[in-house]
Amino acid sequence: MVLHQMPRWSARLFRAPPGWRRTCVLGPSMGSRWLPDRWGMYSPLVCRGYSSASGSPEVMLTCKRYPVQRLPFSTVSEKDLAAFESIIPGRVITDPDQVEACNVDWLRSVRGCSKVLLRPQTSEEVSHILRHCHERNLAVNPQGGNTGLVGGSVPVFDEIILSTALMNKVISFHNVSGILVCQAGCVLEELSRYVQEQDFIMPLDLGAKGSCHIGGNVSTNAGGLRFLRYGSLRGTVLGLEVVLANGTILNCLTSLRKDNTGYDLKQLFIGSEGTLGIITTVSILCPPRPQAVNVAFLGCPGFAEVLQTFTTCKGMLGEVLSAFEFMDAECMRLVRQHLHLAIPVQESPFYALVETSGSSVGHDAEKLGSFLEQVLDSGLVTDGTVATDQRKVQTLWALRERITEALSHDGYVFKYDISLPVERLYDLVIDLRTRLGPLAKHVVGYGHLGDGNLHLNVTAEAFSEGLLSSLEPYVYTWTAEQQGSVSAEHGLGFKKRHVLGYSKPPVAVQLMQQLKLLLDPKGILNPYKTLPAQD
Amino acid sequence: MVLHQMPRWSARLFRAPPGWRRTCVLGPSMGSRWLPDRWGMYSPLVCRGYSSASGSPEVMLTCKRYPVQRLPFSTVSEKDLAAFESIIPGRVITDPDQVEACNVDWLRSVRGCSKVLLRPQTSEEVSHILRHCHERNLAVNPQGGNTGLVGGSVPVFDEIILSTALMNKVISFHNVSGILVCQAGCVLEELSRYVQEQDFIMPLDLGAKGSCHIGGNVSTNAGGLRFLRYGSLRGTVLGLEVVLANGTILNCLTSLRKDNTGYDLKQLFIGSEGTLGIITTVSILCPPRPQAVNVAFLGCPGFAEVLQTFTTCKGMLGEVLSAFEFMDAECMRLVRQHLHLAIPVQESPFYALVETSGSSVGHDAEKLGSFLEQVLDSGLVTDGTVATDQRKVQTLWALRERITEALSHDGYVFKYDISLPVERLYDLVIDLRTRLGPLAKHVVGYGHLGDGNLHLNVTAEAFSEGLLSSLEPYVYTWTAEQQGSVSAEHGLGFKKRHVLGYSKPPVAVQLMQQLKLLLDPKGILNPYKTLPAQD
């Protein structure tokens, strides 16, 4: 495992937008990486009205942009720094430039003003650090790859940043059961490579895999591209070691598929975004590596036909279906317009990307062939193309995965990540087009149809309060009326914590607050995140 | 949905042992059922030294057999009964015969002395009942199908029995997503039948499916026969409605595959055996029904070969593999001896049962054929037979599923259900044979190899303290040394709560106790269960 400090996206999945400096660094086991130009980087979410002394756009401090009050935590003293230095000699970072990179999220939408970055290597070091912070009432912001989309991974004020970057060792891998045990700071892509060499795959895959840490994936209960096939981390994570707020090490690091001894405590830490404990070690079940991967890119005449294609697909592809994504015509027009990618099928109101992963090349091709014949004959699909070789598979996936990038070229983007009952998945897009009219440049919908997960994006020439107030709370209310989730896979972090109530009843929110109080009575772990501020 | 009060086992999975009265009751949607002869029923765990007035063996009261003290709960008064009657008119049962059936577990190993059985139909009724019990400090024992194996489903003293039997309605089923929402008291087999009519299957299957309630399955985090393929209920259960100890209804009943809004509270109630809340409604994801099911029954020359067969199988059968069970020669000898079943392959030191479930009859047969050729050619398997038609599939499954029954004919049975690292799975069986020598009649091992789950059984002519003290805590210590679980899928209930510490560290046990205190401060929910008694 090699240390990487800067956000690193899989080259296949993320192309540098204008303003990024492309720097390709190759190591013996690392592949290519993108290192962002620290100040020159452009993001549609950058706060344009706020500039640094140098004149380049700088991210406005979260505490200035948002109405949030610092809680009465202590401030880091020289004595604290000395204590940290004695726990992790040489790994207490106070150099402003180094700390600054960890103060800003990768979307450049939120920015803390921490003065200290700690880089422990072991759970015991994390334990000693937290024991000190707990005694001294110092707030701590755990940070993995800093690739979160809701401002959960950077400080809001001056919280100490505790990075898992140096906790990047594989502890064990069992090549019969496929059980991997590793430290929280292992980068997902490196773990993928590691287990693939032994004919397994990681049970999750994400666009941010080149940077994100497995500990962060678990802390945010990451979904991603393999969710439809391999399910939630709540099923595939077998064990965790966690350091609690007071420094106690909680060892739930079993590597057993079945264990019904008492309450399953690890579940408390999956998806709680570092607010209940810091995950230091993960035990996770890896599925066998598929021998064959096929991708079909299809054009559909309407959303009803997309849904019927999905149903047909589930029936006919069954166990080899590994992804079902949909995109509307607007998405694909933007991809063509801004990225000059060719859409390999005739223009259609909707498109679907279907992936199969299986253990037999011939069988999978045959299953896919029968399915395609069926959906073409019945008119559910009007045109389509299939890829079997890896290069073409990647080309087709790029049409789906580069939508985010295409949108960022279109102007300011308002982003929503919601779960809805599958048959209502596209209604909100249609509804918003009517509601917003000329206020919006484009209203587009795409996402993981197989998981009922819609990525709804609205673009405009520039940020507009008027547009925002037409969108919010409307989008959240609409979602709540359908019993949907206002955050399907991104979590709540800092930016969405106030919308929790749209998806959870007051009784649930109250119980969450009680759990927080039980596990972190002083509230030092990732404060201002996940749960709404209490009056 | 139809109400069933008596334990009901799938006829295929459980044949009546001598002393059972076979009563076949057929209803329009019910199939055949076994109704046990209440007093004549024989169980190897019955307390032989204690007899009822009639002379038939009766189960000794738990409070007499075990060193357990009644906690200072109130006793049910006439006023309480009147209050319950006003909440659920006509469904407050105090008839001793009716209540008695719910006081004894189906293994007839534990027996409470409750005087009241409540049968609510709705969550609101459960809420009103618990509010009253909480105010009055009355202890409550939630009960589903009463098929648990660790004494978790019956009272220890005079706890009020709250049965979910009348909460047996399907609320909704979505035939695109496969999401089923139903009340907690729905019987698993009936739900299976219901979703199969719409070309889906339940994500879990158990021997006790004819009686067990889905709410009980979720409360105990049941594993079972489909675990290898469809994973844990922690992944497939999408939402729960739960009534908390004080009567508050906690609605986490989303039907979304992805929802990352706040802490996933439903996980607290999965596997906590009714000690933190009573599950009243379940939302669960059902996989599509496979088109083809094949079963192979194989003979292997050693346990190392069983393991290699499993590895080969995972690679070659991949996504269609749905079960991998193993049995030792001793098991099969007992099945042949006591049940007169023919073993369809030549006698071998070990046997494996491999099941495939897929969407294509031809493809699955081809995959299985290649796999069998490979394992036979390489000598991993020395003999085998394959079944594709349903009747023969069932015949082969019976060899595995009827082991429990065969054991019960062999004498008194000491039962252990443990998880171990797969390569050590059989070592304990070998070890115990040497350790116990002539003390034991038979020491046998079988189980869900694919899940690392060993069912270890030791038979003797009769219960013996000497044998017990050779087994315990030895088995638990041995398991703990391998970082195994002392309860893989059965839970802890009443009978195993004291061995929690063999699989969980003190920090974890303490946190569990804090969670119990937070959610049920008076401790009225299923007391004396799951967590060890506190000094």
Q: What is the DSSP letter of B223?
A: -
- pLDDT, one tens digit per residue, over A108-118 is 889 999 999 99
**Same domain, yes or no: A29 and A79:** yes
**Same domain, yes or no: B161 and B270:** yes
State which residues of chain A have pLDDT below 70.
1-57, 535
Q: Which of residues 248-277 of A touch B (CB under 8 A)?
A: 248-252, 254-265, 267-268, 270-272, 276
Inter-chain residue contact B451 with A248, CB threshold 8 Å: no
User: What are the Cα distances from residue B222, in Å, to A162, B187, B232?
Assistant: 38, 14, 8
Residue at a domain's end among B371, B403, B435: B403
What span, in angstroms and rounded, lies between the C-alpha atoms of A425 and A447?
A: 10
**Which range of residues forms the domain containing residue B165?**
1-289+491-535
**Same domain, yes or no: B389 and B253:** no
Asked whether the bond before B473 is cis by omega within 30 degrees of 0, the reply is yes
Instruction: Identify the CATH number of the domain in which residue B417 sits.
Output: 3.30.70.2740
User: What are the Cα distances from residue A445, in Å, to A416, A431, A471, B16?
Assistant: 10, 12, 15, 57
Chain B positions in Cβ-Cβ contact with residue A225 (cut-off 8 Å): none
User: What are the Cα distances from residue B83, in Å, to A248, B79, B123, B132?
Assistant: 46, 6, 17, 8
Q: Which residues pair with B355 in a beta bridge?
A: B295, B323
| Rounded-to-5 percentages of helix, strand, coil across chain B | 35, 20, 45
Q: Which of residues 230-249 of B touch A (CB under 8 A)?
A: 231-232, 234-236, 248-249
Q: Give the pLDDT score at A35.
A: 27
Helix (H) or strand (E) holding A173: strand A170-174
The number of CA neighbours under 13 Å toward the Cβ of B404 is 18
The number of CA neighbours under 13 Å toward the Cβ of A155 is 25
User: What are the residue ranges of helices labelled H in A256-343?
Assistant: 266-269, 303-317, 329-339
- pLDDT, one tens digit per residue, over A261-308 is 999 999 999 999 999 999 999 999 999 889 899 999 999 999 999 999
**Same domain, yes or no: B132 and B214:** yes
Q: Give the pLDDT score at A535.
A: 65
Q: How many domains does chain B have?
A: 3
Q: Give the pLDDT score at B535.
A: 65
Sign, Cα dihedral of B186, B188, B190, B193: positive
**Same domain, yes or no: B523 and B476:** no
CA distance B148 to chain A (A): 13
Average model confidence (pLDDT) across chain A: 88
B348 touches chain A (CB under 8 A): no
A223 touches chain B (CB under 8 A): yes
Q: Which residues pair with A241 in a beta bridge?
A: A251, A281
Closest CA to A202 of A167, A221, A227: A227
Asked whether the bond before A473 is cis by omega within 30 degrees of 0, the reply is yes
Mutate to test the interface with A, among B217, B256, B355, B366 (most CBs of A within 10 A): B256
What span, in angstroms and rounded, lies between the C-alpha atoms of B22 and B3?
A: 19
User: What are the Cα distances from residue B47, in Å, to B62, B465, B467?
Assistant: 11, 13, 16
**Same domain, yes or no: A216 and A272:** yes
**Same domain, yes or no: B360 and B483:** no
Chain B positions in Cβ-Cβ contact with residue A492 (cut-off 8 Å): 260-262
B360 touches chain A (CB under 8 A): yes
**Same domain, yes or no: A436 and A296:** no
Which segments within B137-236 are labelled E, that is strand? 140-143, 160-163, 170-174, 179-183
The four Cα atoms A238, A242, A244, A249 give a dihedral, to 10 degrees, of 110
Mutate to test the interface with A, among B218, B252, B263 (most CBs of A within 10 A): B263
**Same domain, yes or no: B344 and B223:** no
A479 touches chain B (CB under 8 A): no
Listed in sequence order, the residues at least 6 apart from B103 whose beta carbon sits closer than 8 Å to its beta carbon are B111, B112, B113, B114, B154, B155, B161
**Same domain, yes or no: B348 and B396:** yes
Inter-chain residue contact B262 with A421, CB threshold 8 Å: no
CA distance B268 to chain A (A): 7
User: What are the Cα distances from residue A121, in Å, to A56, A132, A162?
Assistant: 35, 17, 11
Instruction: Identify the CATH number of the domain in which residue A513 sits.
Output: 3.30.465.10
State which residues of chain B have pLDDT below 50.
1-56
**Same domain, yes or no: B239 and B328:** no
A483 touches chain B (CB under 8 A): yes
B67 touches chain A (CB under 8 A): no
Q: Give the pLDDT score at A106.
A: 83
Residue at a domain's end among A403, A421, A446: A403
Inter-chain residue contact B257 with A452, CB threshold 8 Å: yes
**Same domain, yes or no: A56 and A205:** yes
Residue at a domain's end among B361, B380, B403: B403
CB contacts < 8 Å between A and B, how many? Answer: 276
User: For residue A253, what is the nearest residue in chain B, using CA coordinates?
Assistant: B483
